[in-house]
Amino acid sequence: MSWTLRRRSLLAGSALAVAAAQQARAQSGAWPSQPIRLVVPFAPGGTTDLVARLLAAGLQERLGVSLVVENRAGAGATVGSEMVARAAPDGYTLVMSNIASHAISPAVYRGRIRYDAVTDFAHVALVVSNPTVWVANPRAGIRTLADAAARARSASGLDVATSGAGSSNHLMVVRMGQLVGRELNHIPFRGAGPAMQAVIAGQVPMMSDSLPSSVNHIRQGSVIAVAMASAQRHPAFPDVPTFREQGFDLASDSWFGLSAPAGTPPAVVERLNRETRAVLADPAIRARFAELGGTPGDMTAEGYGEFVRREVALWAPLVQASGATPD
Amino acid sequence: MDLITNLGHGFAVALTFNNLLFCLIGCVIGTAIGVLPGIGPVATISLLLPITFGQPATTAIIMLAGIYYGAQYGGSTTAILLNLPGEVSSVVTTLEGYKMARKGRAGAALSIAALGSFFAGTVATILVAASGPLLTQVALSFGPADYFSLMFLGLVISAVLAQGSVIKSIGMVALGVSLGMVGTDVQTGQQRFTFGIPELSDGVGFVSIAMGMFGIAEIILNLERPEARSVMSGKVGSLMMTREEFKRAVPAVLRGTVVGSLLGILPGGGAALSSFGSYMMERKISKGRHEFGTGAIEGVAGPESANNAASQTSFIPLLTLGIPANAVMALMVGALIIQGIQPGPRMVEAQPDLFWGLIASMWVGNLMLLVINLPMIGIWVKLLAVPYRHMYPSIMIFCAIGVYSLQNNVFDVYQTVVFGIFGYLCSKLRLEAAPMLIGFVLGPMMEEHLRRAMLLSRGDPMVFIERPISAVMLGIAAVALVAMLLPNIRKGKDSALQEGG
Amino acid sequence: MKLNTKDIISGAILIAIAVVGLWLNMDHNMGSARRMGPGYMPFLALAILGGLGALALFFGLFNGPDPLARWTSQEIIFLIGGAVAGTAAGLVAARMGGWPAAGWNSLGIGLFVGCLVPSIVKSWRPLFLISAAFSLFGLILEPLGLMAAIALSVILSAFADETHKPVGVVGLVAFLCVLCYAVFIYELDIRVPVWPQF
């Protein structure tokens, strides 16, 4: 069948290169000597999945073994993360740790989750962080956060769409409501796509989204970017002011990184950190990430571990305020 | 005559050797994964995504699109031959298709599925090319209230799928809706009916239910009646359609194409509704309606055409808005973004090669599928001649591997066992699985739209009547409900009276 | 009376599911019409389910007769025996620790034992032997690999059909192993252990 043909012709090049390098490694007996599993705790096709695949392609070249991306979605990204937390700490099982699995879900699923986001992992490196952006339908008459706040305080209130309940975008809506002094009418959707459609169609005037899923729509003018929830303005959108500039003390990026099970040899973690940062420094990868709207990370392994610890502490009280609980 | 020029340009792109080759590869892979139960296009496309990185964007998307509609074709093969529906649309195909196969008309069922799909695909492709942007406006004009009413209408008419008691089949719809409630609540993030099992937080798996209640239960029932099996493997029948069958199928194909093309435009649920919307229509108005339930060719021709038309027109929201209508489309957006292309309204001007090349390749792909599949029908039908004692362990193993590979989790395998036993019990009690599966798929969507509509209307239920689209759908649903229930209740009353007298 | 046993039992099952569901649903907040809680829709669906179950049961009293095949006492004993043995095996496995308690293995063991016991009765064999074979596949797939899982579950399922001959089963196992290796491992490259892992 022409199946065979496909694989042979398409993979031949990269497979040969990998195989050759693999052989060289196996002889020296050092890590890595066999394929590495990279668990993505989300369904295929999302931003995390795309970034993981880009990263895997880069790491594969540098490490000389193949990286196999494995999607294990479920329960706020905790199913895949739990699997890796329990895997052998030999450096052959890694996970794309992220704001959901390692900061928000631990608070949402308190007591139900069978891993500790900080102590059960050897955190390797921050891969990318994406600013949260608030966009509005061009005809909604909302150009600034002051407009949005005024709408929120009016009798009708302000509807804000998000990609789902319990996401960092949702928690932003809760925090904004606290700052405005009036609860915003949160309209959760099943993913960013349907939410964006509702905003474009004018059914919901505003949306709290992470930049990668709205970047195209902002560039095309089908929605306008009202505010960026980062500490600084985003280089790709220098005209869009931040929340702080508009007088609302809010700054939050969603992020994901690379983590291994706790107990992974420090030398392996160091090597992975070095190679990951090298991949992320590659101009081609930087350009891809920029297109997706994200900022590539550049942290030491200790730095990333400390970062995760801070995020866990930051989100727990917000989750409680939002009322998102498993039951 | 812009359209002709553009399409000409598109064909020039699609007919280059490289693009033709990858279109063919995509179609073959798609057909193969469609035939294998459990392994769907989402898993395959995500596996093949890295391979497309090295290809030009147009080639990559042509190949992925080939997998997508190839899988639709392949899926109907297993549904007809083995009563194994891999996705929602094939659930409907099993109803008449499998019955036809048992009557020795598997060849005819497969032929009309292929021919009808090709015709519908052609029409839908022209529709996408000619009025894609216009149709986008239709999709955008559907608000949450309208979606809710559409889903509700869908649920009401899904009771028509029933072959027996209407009350029991609406009961199964309600059971399906209830089962669909398992998992994380979209609105609050709360876990419902999950018993603390993380695997259930994304809901009960559709494939597990379908494989269990159709595939496994069917194996068990066949093993219980050896006489039915010998009929099954003995009668292969003529491969070709008779003139009579062809004549009956043509109007069904036409109607299915219209239904599918329209519903496919609506992201989320539109495509799922299309095939059984068409089934319902055929069952009510086609000439062969009295044969439904025993293997009516209209029940294969209509839904298969609708399903394929919908899978073509579901590209419209992706191409014109950059919004994916389903998981496969989301993967395609991912593939495009990785290639540095931004799907959306400006894609037509910015990437004419890609836009028109993809549209032309849809038609080319459909033609290829026809060419690949028609000769295969003979081989597929011969499979039925394999003795059942060799067949059933193979089906079982393929189901098991397919179910496992969904999430690489044995929990799904055990879930399938439970639904297999439940499916067996249901068929003994004449509780039908098809309405339950439709309820399972549509129920959660309906809940989502209902709650969203109420949030946006500030709790005012009038929104469902004030919006014209919604009002019309609710009206039709009400009429259908009364028309269905009245004779049933009257019948029940009559027999009750007789009993008393 | 023209009892329709099938409809009566169907109605009873639907009602039972609805009652259990409604009871579980008491944990969930109903919310208001404007902001419907997680319990709103399940309540509606389950209430309708219960209502339709009651209707089916009611009409089932008159629109018969449609009797079910009567179960023999042997069938009933082994069915109950299977349920008890399966539950016990699952619980014991969960307590044992190690492999039987890890992951979903205790569930798999429970299902497997529970299905194997009633399949001793010949008339239960198609139903429970196929289910047992399917559970067995899940149970041994990860520790022993795909090849062993195919072999063992095909052999077990073969007992469900008396026309099988040993040579034919061996041939079938070999054929399926080769086919599945070619399709799922070689071509589709799915992530599953192929050989036993030690």
Considering CB atoms only, which of C27, C187, C191 is closest to A3?
A: C187
Give the helix/strand (H/E) hosting A39: strand A36-40
Domain shared by C19 and C106, yes or no = no
Residue C68 near chain B (CB below 8 Å): yes
Q: What are the chain B neighbours of C164 within 8 Å (beta carbons)?
A: 389
Residue of B nearest to A9 (CA): B51
pLDDT in tens, A51-69: 887 888 788 888 877 777 7
Within this chain, do residues C78 and C174 fall inside the same structural domain, yes or no? yes
3-state secondary structure at position B301: helix
Q: Indicate whether C65 belongs to any domain.
A: no
pLDDT in tens, chain B (501 residues): 577 888 888 888 888 888 898 889 888 888 888 888 767 777 777 767 766 767 788 888 888 888 888 888 888 888 888 888 877 778 888 888 888 888 888 888 999 999 999 999 999 988 888 876 677 777 778 888 988 888 888 888 777 666 677 888 889 999 999 999 998 787 777 778 888 787 787 788 888 898 898 888 988 988 887 766 655 555 556 677 888 888 888 999 999 999 998 888 876 666 778 888 888 888 878 887 788 888 889 989 999 999 889 888 888 877 777 777 777 777 787 777 767 676 766 677 777 888 888 888 888 888 988 888 888 888 888 777 788 888 889 889 988 988 888 777 889 999 999 999 999 999 888 888 888 988 888 888 889 889 999 989 888 888 899 999 899 989 988 888 887 777 665 555 555 444 443
Residue B291 identity: E
Name which of A11, A44, A70 is nearest B331 (Cβ-Cβ): A44
Supply C50's token pair. 């219960």
Q: Same domain for C10 and C101?
A: no
A19 confidence band (pLDDT: 50, 70, 90): very low
Residue whose tokens read 């018969």: C64
Given C33, C60, C87, the domain boundary residue is: C60
Cα separation of C115 and C173, whole Å?
22
Tell me which DSSP letter residue B215 carries: I
Same domain, C80 and C160: yes
CB atoms within 10 A of CB C129: 23
Is residue C21 included in any domain, yes or no? Answer: yes
- Find which of A66, A69, A82, A327 to mutate to test the C interface (most C CBs within 10 Å of its CB): A327
Q: Do C105 and C147 fall within a single domain?
A: yes
**Can you read off the two tokens belonging to residue B313?**
């027109």
Q: Which of C60, C89, C106 is the last residue of a domain?
A: C60
Going by their DSSP bridges, the two strands A185-188 and A121-136 should be labelled as unpaired
Residues C102 and C124 in one domain: yes
> Which residues contact residue C26 at a Cβ distance below 8 angstroms, ignoring those fewer than 6 apart?
C39
Contact criterion met (CB below 8 Å) for A229 and A132:
yes
How far, CA to CA in Å, does B326 sit from each of A20, A209, B66, B331, C109? 40, 19, 16, 9, 37
CB–CB contact A327 C191 (8 Å): no
Q: What is the pTM of this model?
A: 0.83
CB contact under 8 Å between B456 and A159, yes or no, is: yes
**Tokens standing for residue A38:** 């990279």
* Contact call for residues C82 and C128 (beta carbons, < 8 A): yes
d(CA B22, CA B361): 10
Name all chains with 3 or more CB-CB pairs below 8 Å to chain A. Answer: B, C
On whether both C41 and C106 belong to a single domain, the answer is no
Q: Please provide the distance, in angstroms rounded to a whole number, between the alpha carbons at the two ends of chain C.
A: 64
**pLDDT in tens for each of the 198 residues of chain C?**
578 888 889 999 999 999 999 999 988 888 887 788 888 999 999 999 999 999 999 988 887 777 777 788 888 888 889 899 999 999 888 888 788 888 788 899 999 999 999 988 888 888 999 999 999 999 999 889 999 999 999 999 998 888 888 888 999 999 999 988 888 887 776 767 888 865
- Report yes or no: A220 at the B interface, CB cutoff 8 Å: yes
- Please list every residue in chain A whose beta carbon sits closer than 8 Å to the beta carbon of residue C103: none
Mutate to test the interface with A, among C34, C187, C198 (most CBs of A within 10 A): C187
Cross-chain residue pair B191–A326, CB shorter than 8 Å: yes
Rounded-to-integer distance, Cα C52 and Cα B485, Å:
12
* Spatial separation of the C-alpha atoms in residues B42 and A296, rounded to whole Å: 28
- Average pLDDT of chain A? 78
| Cα(A40)–Cα(B423) distance, integer angstroms | 34
- Indicate if ipTM > 0.95: no
At B420, is the secondary structure helix, strand, or coil?
A: helix
Question: With pLDDT > 70 as the criterion, what percentage of chain A qualifies?
Answer: 84
CA B331, CA B350: separation in Å to the nearest integer?
Answer: 21
Instruction: Please report whether residue C31 resides in a domain.
Output: yes
User: What local confidence, expressed as pLDDT, does residue B33 receive?
Assistant: 81
d(CA B383, CA B220): 19
Q: In this complex, do A7 and C187 lie within 8 Å of one another by their Cβ atoms?
A: yes
CA distance B147 to chain C (A): 16
**In chain C, which among 144-183 make CB contacts under 8 A with chain B?**
146, 149-150, 153-154, 157-158, 160-161, 163-164, 168, 172, 176, 180, 183
Q: Where does residue A68 rank: exposed (0-12), middle (13-18), buried (19+ CB within 10 A)?
A: middle
Rounded distance, CA B250 to CA B244, Å? 10
Which residue is closest to A5 within chain B, CA to CA? B25
**A159 forms bridges with which residues in the sheet?**
A185
pLDDT on residue A28? 42
**Which residues of chain C have a CB within 8 Å of the CB of B485?**
none
For C85-121, give one letter per residue: b (16+ CB within 10 A) or e: bbeebbeebbeeeeebeeebbbbbbbbbbbbbbbbeb
SS3 content of chain B, % helix, strand, coil (to 5): 80, 0, 20
Residues contacting residue B483 through CB under 8 Å, at least 6 positions apart? none
* B449 membership: H or E segment, kind and range: helix B433-456
3-state SS, one letter per residue, for B82-141: HCCCCCHHHHHHHHHHHHHHHCCCHHHHHHHHHHHHHHHHHHHHHHHHHHHHHHHHHHHC
Answer yes or no: is C127 within a domain.
yes
Q: Is residue C174 part of a domain?
A: yes
Helices (H), ranges, B202-344: 206-210, 217-224, 226-234, 243-264, 270-285, 298-313, 315-321, 327-338
The answer as to whether C194 is a domain residue is no
Peptide bond into A89 cis (omega under 30): no
Structural tokens at position B150:
């559409």
Are the beta carbons of B140 and A197 separated by less than 8 Å? yes
Report how far residue A289's alpha carbon sits from residue A283's, in angstroms, rounded to the nearest whole number. 10
Pairing status of strand A67-71 against strand A36-40: parallel
Closest in A45, A220, A327 to B46, CB measured: A45
- The Cα of A114 is separated from the nearest Cα of chain C by a number of Å equal to 12
* Rounded distance between C-alpha atoms, residue A147 and residue B235, angstroms: 72
Same domain as C88, residue C55: no
What tokens does B90 get?
């094939």
Same-domain check for residues C83 and C165: yes
Angle value at C-alpha A298, between A319 and A99, nearest 5 degrees: 15
The CA distances from residue B373 to B14, B184, B339, in Å, are 21, 40, 32
Is the pLDDT reported for residue A167 higher than 80? no
Same domain, C55 and C84: no
Is the pLDDT at A131 greater than 80? The verdict is yes
Would the pLDDT of A79 be above 80? no
Residues near A281 by beta carbon (within 8 Å), at least 6 away in sequence = A296, A298
Query: Chain C: nearest CA to B51, how far in angstroms?
Result: 13
Most confident range (mean pLDDT) of A187-191, A197-201, B329-333, C184-188 is: A197-201
**Is residue C167 domain-resident?**
yes
| pLDDT tens, residue by residue, A237-254 | 889 999 999 988 888 888
How many Å separate Cα C91 from the centre of its chain? 17
Q: Does A53 touch chain B (CB under 8 A)?
A: yes
Test A7 with C191 for CB contact under 8 angstroms. no
Please choose, from the candidates B213, B152, B212, the residue with its C-alpha nearest in 3D space to the C-alpha of residue B431. B213
| Closest in B224, B431, B450 to C10, CB measured | B431
Q: Which domain holds residue C178?
A: 73-187
Amino acid at C175: F
Q: Which residues contact C160 (CB under 8 A, 6 or more apart)?
A: B223, B392, C119, C125, C126, C129, C130, C133
Give the residue from A325, A327, A48 showing the smallest Cα distance to A166: A325
CA of C192: which chain A residue's CA is closest? A70
Cα three-residue angle C56-C62-C63, rounded to 5 degrees? 75
Are B171 and C49 an interchain contact pair (Cβ–Cβ within 8 Å)?
yes
Q: Cα(C99)–Cα(A64) distance, rounded to whole angstroms?
A: 34
Q: Give domain status of residue C197, yes or no.
A: no
Chain C residues within 8 A (CB-CB) of chain A? 27-28, 187, 191
Q: Which of B368, B420, B435, B401 is nearest to B94 (CA)?
A: B435
Instruction: Indicate whether C103 and C182 sit together in one domain.
Output: yes
- Assigned token pair, B330: 């989301």
| Helix B57-82 and helix B327-338, axial crossing angle in degrees, nearest 10 | 160
Distance from CA of A134 to the nearest CA of C (A): 23
Question: Which structure tokens are listed for B83?
Answer: 């009563």
Span A257-268, average pLDDT = 85
Question: CB B161: neighbour CB atoms within 10 A?
Answer: 25
Residue of higher predicted confidence among A133 and B481:
A133
Instruction: Tally the domains of chain C.
Output: 2
Q: Which residues of A119-150 are buried (b: 16+ CB within 10 A; e: fewer)?
A: ebbbbbbbbbbbbbbbbbbeebebeebebbbe
Determine the average pLDDT of the residues in A86-95: 81
Q: Please provide the DSSP assignment of A217-235 as one string.
A: HHHHTSSEEEEE-SSS--T
Mark which of C37, C60, C83 sits at the end of a domain: C60
User: Other C-beta atoms within 10 Å of B141: how many?
Assistant: 14
Measured between CA atoms, how close is A302 to chain B, in angstroms?
30
Cα(B470)–Cα(C28) distance, rounded to whole angstroms? Answer: 29
Tracing tokens 């189901």 back to the chain, one arrives at B399
Q: Is B389 on the interface with C (CB under 8 A)?
A: yes
* Cα–Cα distance for residue pair A241/A226, rounded to 1 Å: 8
Same-domain status, C84 and C13: no
Say if the Cβ atoms of A68 and C191 lie within 8 Å: yes
Min Cα–Cα distance to chain B from A249, Å = 25
Over 50: is that where the pLDDT of A26 sits? Answer: no
For chain A, the residue count is: 327
Residue C46: enclosing H or E segment and its boundaries?
A: helix C40-60
